[in-house]
Amino acid sequence: MLINQFLFLGAILFCVGVYGVLARRNGVLVLMSIELILNSVNINLIAFGQLHQNVAGQVFALFIIAIAAAEVGVGLAIVMMLYRNRRSIDIDDVDLMKG
């Protein structure tokens, strides 16, 4: 198998995730797109680990999975706070930083 098969799959999923982050307005759906991005990176790490016969790829993929779990926990807590304070989770409504 070519290594580029896996790398292209990761790149396509990454781009779809970037589209989701930019095009979605709902906070939970933006978090889902971010998960897509984080997960697409893992396949690159595993593929390179296999290519170089190095176990470090898998170790770093595990770290990314742990970070992703922490990120989604805090992110959903923030979305819950948004909902509680504003009764909506549209991230376009969060524009207090705009001058």
Q: Which residues bind other proteins (CB under 8 A)?
A: 1-9, 11-20, 22-29, 31-33, 35-36, 39, 42-43, 46-47, 49-51, 53, 55-59, 61-63, 65-74, 76-81, 83, 89-90, 92
- Please identify, using beta-carbon distances, which residue of 20 and 97 lies nearer to other proteins: 20
H or E stretch at 27: helix 27-51
Smallest separation (angstroms) from other proteins to the CB of 99: 20
| CA 29/CA 34 separation, integer angstroms | 9
Smallest separation (angstroms) from other proteins to the CB of 9: 5
Query: What are the angstrom distances between the C-alpha of 18 and each of 1, 64, 69, 76?
Result: 27, 18, 19, 19
- Please identify, using beta-carbon distances, which residue of 68 and 99 lies nearer to other proteins: 68
Q: 3-class DSSP state for residue 98?
A: coil
